[in-house]
Chains A and B, each alone.
Chain A
Amino acid sequence: DAKTTQPNSMESNEEEPVHLPCNHSTISGTDYIHWYRQLPSQGPEYVIHGLTSNVNNRMASLAIAEDRKSSTLILHRATLRDAAVYYCILRDAHSGAGSYQLTFGKGTKLSVIP
């Protein structure tokens, strides 16, 4: 799977929007962009994923650049419960058995300030 680059940490004030960036300049045409987060003392939790178009769900929005070399996870109003490590992961849906694996990087540790 192609490599992703995320900032090590970010801070946000409570109830403000948060934009978490991810660079993936070597992304291939069949790579899906997945976001997971891991709250303290819990397992990773699926947030959102997309291929080309921007995506929205009840948790967040995913904005994908037109050239697909970067993406941004948007939390519209950060709460204290959103403090977690956020992982941006690329997965090739057509790489056979490898398409089943999630390869986690170091992610971005988001701190939310009350």
Chain B
Amino acid sequence: EAQVTQNPRYLITVTGKKLTVTCSQNMNHEYMSWYRQDPGLGLRQIYYSMNVEVTDKGDVPEGYKVSRKEKRNFPLILESPSPNQTSLYFCASSLWDRGRGAYGYTFGSGTRLTVV
């Protein structure tokens, strides 16, 4: 089954303790990205990657890092989490072609992170 898999689904951590949220896709998509979703603010893009070793900032990149060493994996790293990073996080991947740009995004089921 074509899917984007995020782990963990739920995570409670303490301020300053480094954590990684993993994301993997099995569709051979070139493009992957991370979003956070907060009440009243909707979904906002954190980082995206257009291919292996190619990443760039989205709208809210502060406090986050990403890496794309393999096409299928795109982990989100919080080096020193803070309470304002408490949120619902989604990983996504998509197809791309020259005519349509990126399309047909597939999202993971989400990671609910609480930083205390």
A contacts, CB < 8 Å to B: 32, 34, 36, 41-46, 49, 91-95, 97, 99-107
Contacts and interface: CB of A to CB of B under 8 A. Distances in A.
A43 B105 CA distance: 11
B77 interface: no
A49 B109 contact: no
Given A93-B99, A100-B96, A104-B43, A46 B106 contact: yes
6 contacts: A43-B107, A43-B108, A44-B92, A49-B104, A101-B33, A104-B43
Contact of A43 (B45, B90, B101, B103): B90
Interface of B: 4, 31, 33, 35, 42-45, 48, 50, 56, 58, 90, 92, 94, 96, 99-110
A100 B48 contact: yes
Contacts of A93: 99-101
B83 to A, nearest CB: 22
B42 A106 contact: yes
Given A101-B58, A102-B105, A43 B92 contact: yes
B37 to A, nearest CB: 8
B100 A44 contact: no
Nearest to B103: A49
Contacts of B106: 46
B109 A43 contact: yes
A100 B33 contact: yes
B86 to A, nearest CB: 17
